[in-house]
Structure 1
Amino acid sequence: MSRLIVVSNRVASITEGKSSAGGLVVGVLDALRGMGGIWLGWNGEIETDPVQPPLTHSEKNIDFITVALTQREYDQYYRGFSNGVLWPTFHYRIDLSRYIRRDYSGYRAVNRRFAQILTSSIASDDIIWVHDYHLIPFGQACRSLGIKNKIGFFLHIPFPSPSVLRTIPSHQELVESMCAYDLVGFQTQSDVQAFIDYTTRHLGAIHIGDTVRLGDRSIKVGAYPIGIQPEQIRTLSKESRHSKPLDALREGLQHRKLIVSVDRLDYSKGLIERFDAFECLLESSPQHRGKVTLVQIAPPSRQDVQGYRQIRRQLESTAGRINGKWTELSWTPIRYMNRSYERTLLMSFFRVSQVGLVTPLRDGMNLVAKEYVASQPAEDPGVLVLSEFAGAAAEMHEGALMVNPYDVQGMADSLDRALNMPLEERKQRYEHLMGILKKNNLSVWRDRFLNDLGS
């Protein structure tokens, strides 16, 4: 029987049933438990030279193989090319991309090292599932080592248009590397089309149906929108309903309406524009002054990358300016928290709110949008306000209030509509969205991809 080999930048060993485990981790672990196999990737540690051998531990029928990165590998592979070039460019922020040739060389070298580690553990009928932008060249590295297994790649972030992608000097090598896979999956059909456009225009590939032919290679491509387990999220949203943090939130609101946003602190999330839209709401709809609060939770990320330090300073400054202008003795308009909370508590925050504000400037999917809907009480659901540039918009546009995150007044108008929406309309939108979430849940995403890879 075939085993599953999962390769990702980071490896997570999560105790079964632990509520803090994210959806992707749960989905991958479920697949590994069902098929047996290996999870290979970085363990999050940075060690001094020389390169240390991988560590292996087993839980039931899964072998976790983890490696530490040297400081040079971290600087070049992770901080340099992955998050200094690929992340901003794939999110259409080419102004923040900083290409350094040695970083790209280090990026490919770490991918080769991961592939070399795998060669000693793989069997001929194993299926390999590779995740995300850190590991684009991994499949090509495997092929160069003689690995002939079926290898699939799933990109969790957006795939940019050819004109944007070509700003990366090594763009052709990168896309040629993707053509070493048997199956390449994306979040949306728009991402699929961008990949097809690039390969046909710039590599001379032939597109037939769901296949791209390049030389003697046939690569299946498709959209596999990642989902959640809505019933599990509903359960999580009730677990902290009597917790002290939730009680404190309710006490502080004093029966005011709540708009809630949860994002990693990242320039792709549209956080500044979101704060500006909330201020615009207070200016253009004065009836909401003193009666609604925006809670923004933005855990820090990649604090050693300059762009992230900058967005944190901007966000703190914007929140301070707005609060300084509008705060009253008994009301603070924006509560901005630059810290992490347990996942169960976040789902409970969603459940008691009237509006979920999810307005990234660009996002591969954005599972927060789906988790917000699944957390709502069916008898009195809140309203999702969603950016048209989130991957989730392709599925959720008929139930959410869609906004352009660059249109501050438009977002303010949608917030006003959401806060005033009648109960019957809210229920109709909620029921429509829940139907989508159940139909395209996490298990469906995982099984569709693996079935297509194995066929």
Structure 2
Amino acid sequence: MVASEAQGGSILVQTSPYPHVVEDEPDGPSIQVRLVTTDPAAYADFYSVWSNPILWFVQHGLYGRALSPVITQAEHDAFDNGYAAVNRVYADAVVDEVRARGGKVLVLLQDYHFYLVAERVRELCPDVVLTHFIHIPWPSPDEWRVLPAGIRERLLQGLLGSDVVGFHTRRYARHFVLCAQELLGLEVDLDNLLVHVGDRIVRARYYPISVDTGALEATLGTEEVAGHVAMLRYGFLDGDRRLILRVDRTDPSKNVVRGFLAFGTLLDQHPELVGKVSFLALLQPSRTDVPEYADYIALIGAVVAEINARHTKDGQQPIDLRMVEDFALAVAAYSICDVIMVNALADGMNLVTKEVAVVNRRGGVLALSETAGAYEELGEYAVALHPFDVQQMADALYEALTMPLEERQRRLSAAAEQVRTHDVGRWLSDQLDDLSQLAGYL
């Protein structure tokens, strides 16, 4: 048996003022959480073989293809006995909940771990309304050809059990429709992002996720953040010094190494900035059990050490690298940075740019990768970064650092307005409004 429900079946979680389990009647907003436990071996294949790294690497374009991936019988077995098996257990749990509510309900599935769930739920509960939102990029059909045909077809057919498949950007939604056409041979309407599946029509839609602007503003106003701001100002902004910031996980898709190489090139080509510009990097170690991630962390450290050795002046290192996960510290840094650097190779959205737009009080410039999902919304207010071009990124950083204050403030104000009028509440309400029209009963 792959999985079984935890004893008791579910827990009640009150979501305010912070998530916590309650045993009696809640005195605030709450949600019933059904618990499903999985066999460790099945879960390892589900998560640590297929979800990460395989699907993550495919969808972020991280495989070099010359040497990776290498799909062997072990990966085929891991798909069947791990990814597919765990998806089936979660699908059956969803089916139980749907049937308990009469069969005609709305189910919202999330992300790349559960691509096979919708098809089974629809098979057993044909009246259900299913939407599956994917939070990471969806690449073009050719990227999916690195996977065995049978597996990629099962993934696509699983998703097409949904009524709506949601993405952050139109580009990702269009890629999904093209995959249905080119990899499955289905009839599609590319202009309207529709896929014909038998007598059903599956809709691809795009809803750019955002941030809770009120919660961000509240965090900015706390004493903890104020203390961090004071220390950061003292450490980085005395006199006419400037601060470049990045806040990221140490995921290869975040392109941290090339970002530092671009900063090193900036200092090489503009020696007058040495000692005048610092780069604060707040990085959170990610998936260190995956060899590619562990190797990437080591490479980050080596590149930073080399640049610091080359450009340290009067005892002051240009890069301050901190492996830390501290949201209050991040918000403090957001509020006072001159430039935020986001140079991801691929990113479903990237909320760091949106967070900075809301809380920055220094006319901060968004230096934003053209391949991040956020670029569709905020690109016109940002300095564009081409994530593979170190020289272009160095030039873009120089443009950002030398941009007139009035222009910096104009762009930041416009970006902040875009985020405030398209916050996370709107992200959800837009989806529910569309589903209401589709279902006719919500």
Q: The TM-score by the shorter chain falls in which range?
A: 0.7 to 0.9
Matched, 1:133 2:134: no
- Contact 2:173–2:193 (CA under 8 A) maintained in structure 1: no
TM-score scaled by structure 1?
0.85
Partner of 1:195: 176
Gaps in structure 2 of 5+ consecutive residues: 1-10, 438-442
- Paired residues, number: 408
Partner of 2:210: 227
Q: Distance in 1 between matches of 2:95 and 2:369?
A: 43
Matched, 1:410 2:385: no
- The alignment yields a C-alpha RMSD, in angstroms, of 2.3
Partner of 2:323: 338
Cα distance per residue 1:224-262 (max 9 Å; x no partner)? 111123343233223256654443322222512111100
How far has the Cα of 1:345 moved from its partner? Answer: 2.6
Partner of 1:366: 350
Give the residue type in structure 2 aligned to 1:205.
L
- Contact 1:150–1:454 (CA under 8 A) maintained in structure 2: no
Cα distance per residue 1:296-353 (max 9 Å; x no partner)? 1111111111111011010011111111111123311111111211x23311111011
**What SS does the aligned partner of 2:409 have?**
helix
Higher deviation after alignment, 129-138 or 198-207: 198-207
- Contact 1:363–1:390 (CA under 8 A) maintained in structure 2: yes
How far has the Cα of 1:13 moved from its partner? Answer: 5.4
Within 5 Å, give how 1:51-66 maps onto structure 2: 61-66=30-35
Q: Distance in 1 between matches of 2:133 and 2:226?
A: 37
- Contact 2:224–2:328 (CA under 8 A) maintained in structure 1: no
Cα distance per residue 1:83-138 (max 9 Å; x no partner)? 12100000011235454112211101111111212233321232100000001111
Within 5 Å, give how 1:37-116 maps onto structure 2: 61-95=30-64, 97=69, 99=71, 100-105=75-80, 106-116=82-92
Give the residue type in structure 2 aligned to 1:332.
Q
Q: Do the aligned partners of residues 290 and 266 (structure 1) sit closer, same or farther apart at CA in structure 2, a change above 3 Å counting?
A: same
Q: Distance in 2 between matches of 1:302 and 1:291?
A: 35
Within 5 Å, give how 1:373-452 maps onto structure 2: 373-377=357-361, 380-452=362-434
Cα distance per residue 1:345-390 (max 9 Å; x no partner)? 311111011111111011010011111111112xx42111000000
Q: Distance in 2 between matches of 1:194 and 1:12?
A: 39
**What SS does the aligned partner of 1:111 have?**
helix
- Contact 1:239–1:348 (CA under 8 A) maintained in structure 2: no
Give the residue type in structure 2 aligned to 1:439.
T
Partner of 2:201: 218
After TM superposition, the runs of 4+ consecutive aligned structure 1 residues lying more than 6 A away are none
Give the residue type in structure 1 aligned to 2:245.
V
- Contact 1:57–1:65 (CA under 8 A) maintained in structure 2: no
Q: Distance in 1 between matches of 2:279 and 2:30?
A: 45
Partner of 2:95: 119
Gaps in structure 1 of 5+ consecutive residues: 1-10, 22-28, 30-42, 44-55
- Contact 1:240–1:246 (CA under 8 A) maintained in structure 2: no
Q: Do the aligned partners of residues 63 and 13 (structure 1) sit closer, same or farther apart at CA in structure 2, a change above 3 Å counting?
A: closer
Give the residue type in structure 2 aligned to 1:216.
D
- Contact 1:262–1:298 (CA under 8 A) maintained in structure 2: yes
Q: Distance in 1 between matches of 2:271 and 2:30?
A: 60
Partner of 2:305: 320
- Contact 1:240–1:344 (CA under 8 A) maintained in structure 2: no
**What SS does the aligned partner of 2:392 have?**
helix
How far has the Cα of 1:184 moved from its partner? Answer: 0.4
Higher deviation after alignment, 93-102 or 352-361: 93-102
Partner of 2:16: 16
TM-score scaled by structure 2?
0.87
- Contact 2:250–2:283 (CA under 8 A) maintained in structure 1: yes
**What SS does the aligned partner of 2:432 have?**
helix
